[in-house]
Copies of this chain bind each other. A is one copy, B any other.
Amino acid sequence: MAVAPPRPKGPHLNALRAFEAAARLGSFTAAAEELSVTPGAITQHIKTMEAWAETTLFVRNARGVDLTPLAEELLPAFVSAFDQLGQAVQALRNKATPEKIKIATLPAVAQLWLAPRLGILRQLAPEISVSVVAMERPPNLMREPFDITLFFTSDPLGADDLEVLQDRIFPVCAPQVAERLSSIRDLHNETLLHDSAWANDWDMWLSAQPAAKGISTKGTTHSLFSVALEEARHGGGVLMAHDALVRPLLIRGELVQPFSETLELPHRLVARMTSSFAHSPVFDKVNKTLFSRL
């Protein structure tokens, strides 16, 4: 005979997540991107939250938002709660399907570095199925459903990080193009191929070469490294290459290195993994096959 209970309800979980993202990133637009929605959706969630709490959480400036002191104070608790929730979800995925591995990495790395190694892994451990998703920036492993991210970074290594290799760049081109290049100054007359994700590789390399003074970095820009690479293979110009990505082509002679000068960049290719994955039984095989340098 109990009475119907009109219990007051808390705010919607999605609104809380929107608040957390917006507060953490300090921007509605950035939060929208992280959550793969439009900024308008974030606006609405935040408004719902503010109405529920009867307070204001953000000061809206024309250019971006600022957190109120209250939001600032509350933020850490939300971040940590969602981190924990995300990790619980990761653990679920990892323990439920331990043999399914998801890797996030740069398109170029996926195609040129990772793909060949996946074949080896398949031979060694056919029960493991790997899916690779290419993206420009590393996803947050506490929040997004990946086991491994493989990106270049110069940040210090964390507990579940593995350094895979040091990044080193140098120009490469087709053999017939190399014949006309006897000195660095000859680059003046060549098309310099750029990749938009590594826009200033040429600048960095050139400025490290005293002999290169005054050479302009104009040239063709491609949005995908692999397209620029294709162009270079067909003699379309000189590409600033990353060691790890072109080594097989150099070995096969499809590309050559016209100058011996290389530049070591201050960042490494780092494999970062969820802690669930790092402690899972399949980690060993994957690590041995993909990441250990022999």
Interface residues of A (CB under 8 A from B): 1-3, 5-11, 13-14, 16-17, 36, 53-55, 70, 73-74, 77-78, 80-82, 84-89, 91-93, 95-97, 100, 102, 107, 133-136, 139, 143-146, 196, 223
Assuming A77-B87, A95-B73, is B145 touching A9 (CB within 8 A)? yes
Closest approach, in angstroms, between the C-beta of A141 and any C-beta of chain B?
12
User: Do B55 and A97 touch across chains, with their CB atoms under 8 A apart?
Assistant: yes
CA distance A26 to B270 in the complex (A): 42
Question: In the assembly, how many copies of this chain are there?
Answer: 2
CA distance A73 to B70 in the complex (A): 36
Closest approach, in angstroms, between the C-beta of A99 and any C-beta of chain B?
11
Q: Which of A17, A88, A93 has the most CB of B within 10 A?
A: A88
User: Do A81 and B70 touch across chains, with their CB atoms under 8 A apart?
Assistant: no
User: Do A97 and B144 touch across chains, with their CB atoms under 8 A apart?
Assistant: no
Please indicate the chain B residues that have their CB under 8 angstroms from the CB of A8 in the complex.
102, 133, 144-146
Please indicate the chain B residues that have their CB under 8 angstroms from the CB of A96 in the complex.
53-55, 70
Please indicate the chain B residues that have their CB under 8 angstroms from the CB of A13 in the complex.
13-14, 17, 85
CA distance A36 to B10 in the complex (A): 12
Assuming A8-B145, A85-B81, is B133 touching A2 (CB within 8 A)? no
Assuming A7-B36, A144-B7, is B55 touching A74 (CB within 8 A)? no
Q: Apart from A10-B143, A13-B14, A53-B92, what 12 extra A-B contacts exist at CB < 8 Å?
A: A3-B107, A5-B135, A7-B36, A7-B139, A8-B146, A13-B17, A13-B85, A53-B97, A74-B95, A78-B88, A81-B82, A84-B84
